[in-house]
Amino acid sequence: MKRVLSGIQPSGQLTLGNYIGALKNFVEMQHSHECYYMVVDLHAITVPQEPAALREQTEAVSALYIASGLDPAKATIFLQSHVHQHAELGWMLTTLTYMGELERMTQFKDKSAGKESVGAGLFTYPSLMAADILLYNADLVPVGDDQKQHLELTRDLAHRFNQRFGDTFTIPEPYIPKVGARIMSLDDASKKMSKSNPNQGSFIAMLDDPAVIRKKISRAVTDSGREVKYDPQNKPEVSNLISIYANCSGKSVAEIEALYDGQGYGPFKKDLAEQVVAVLEPIQQRYHEIRKSGELYDILRQGAERAAEQAEKTVKTVKEKMGFLAR
Ligand code: AMP
Ligand code: TRP
């Protein structure tokens, strides 16, 4: 069985973009792969976090994992900070990463742009992400389009380590969905849908009330035409809404175009809102049950135990190969 690993940061609310670009694939892959899914809390602190907010968000994202359908009996679900080997291998890989490589990362450029002071962790973030993946010798990493560059660096680091110290790491492949790899903002189709956008109307949060979801979709920006047609070049807003529709309904783009042929945007948007609500409402119900039940802590403890077993094997090998003395 191929091994899969991925993670999401517990910083702010998860959006429909996170669900379609990442979580939905996590759930699908658990049936046919050996999966490791974590909440990357160590990555979250690369920008300032209020401790109480970090605690709440970490619990919320973990609960959303389970509520979305991740099954602790099938996948190993854990917090990055519960497995100390991430920080350990992260440091070792940082020493193998070139400054120039990190300087080229677009996520770093975006997140540091215009900031007066930027923590060094935001810069070395990709080396920690490489450690996350290489610790488990993952074959596949399901992520949205924006993480492709980080995956390339991970592959380069794995090659570099293997060449310098002997064959150790599996070279991972990104797994990026064909439709929905990049869900765009509802108010501006040139920006990806993001929880950090100050305009609440620009994103659908996974925990938004159905009434709020309907309102946000009815207000989503479209062009002045009336043709429901997938054409990202000329109709980026409508194409984005079609991607969302396709992902939430399981219908193909062609089916959706045919369904709304000659009808204009009104009926299309109305149905789209219902498709999104139909996906998110059951997840929200399970989410509240899970948060109430307290079962999360057991799941995360067991997940961390399983993950640590694998992670420790890798760190032991890496230390030997790099020349650290055994205890
Ligand atoms: P982040 O919220 O940046 O930690 O992202 C977590 C995962 O969700 C990553 O795999 C991202 O690539 C994915 N993701 C985030 N935003 C979007 C989006 N707007 N469209 C598609 N995937 C996304
Ligand atoms: N950098 C990823 C993001 O912002 C989160 C992440 C951290 C991750 N470690 C990972 C994703 C390992 C996949 C695999 O979305």
CA angle 282, 287, 293 (to 5 degrees): 130
| pLDDT given at position 327 | 87
Domain limits, the chain? 3-176+294-322, 200-287
Atom of ligand 1 lying closest to residue 145 CA: 12
pLDDT confidence tier of residue 177, bands split at 50, 70 and 90: confident
Query: How far apart are alpha carbons 158 and 295 in whole angstroms?
Result: 36
Residue 143 Cα to ligand 1 middle (Å): 7
Interval 130-140 mean pLDDT: 98
Terminal CA-CA length for the chain? 34
Q: Which of 2, 111, 215, 313 is catalytic?
A: 111
Residue 320 Cα to ligand 1 middle (Å): 36
Domain 3-176+294-322 falls in which CATH fold? Rossmann fold (3.40.50)
What global pTM score does this model have?
Answer: 0.94
Residue 39 Cα to ligand 1 middle (Å): 13
Query: How far apart are alpha carbons 49 and 119 in whole angstroms?
Result: 12
| Mutational test site, ligand 1, from 47, 146, 179, max ligand atoms within 8 Å of CB | 146
| pLDDT given at position 196 | 83
Interval 243-263 mean pLDDT: 96
| pLDDT given at position 181 | 81
Antiparallel, parallel or unpaired: β 75-79 and 34-39:
parallel
CATH number for the region 200-287 comes to 1.10.240.10
Contact between residue 192 and residue 17 where contact means Cβ atoms under 8 Å apart: yes
pLDDT in tens, 11-61: 888 999 999 989 999 999 999 999 999 999 999 999 999 999 999 999 999
Does residue 192 carry a catalytic annotation?
A: yes
Residue 223 Cα to ligand 2 middle (Å): 34
Atom of ligand 1 lying closest to residue 185 CA: 19
Interval 180-198 mean pLDDT: 91
Contact between residue 151 and residue 141 where contact means Cβ atoms under 8 Å apart: yes
Does residue 111 carry a catalytic annotation?
A: yes
Q: Does the C-beta of 129 come closer than 6 Å to ligand 2?
A: yes
Radius of gyration of the chain (CA): 21
**322: number of Cβ within 10 Å:** 14
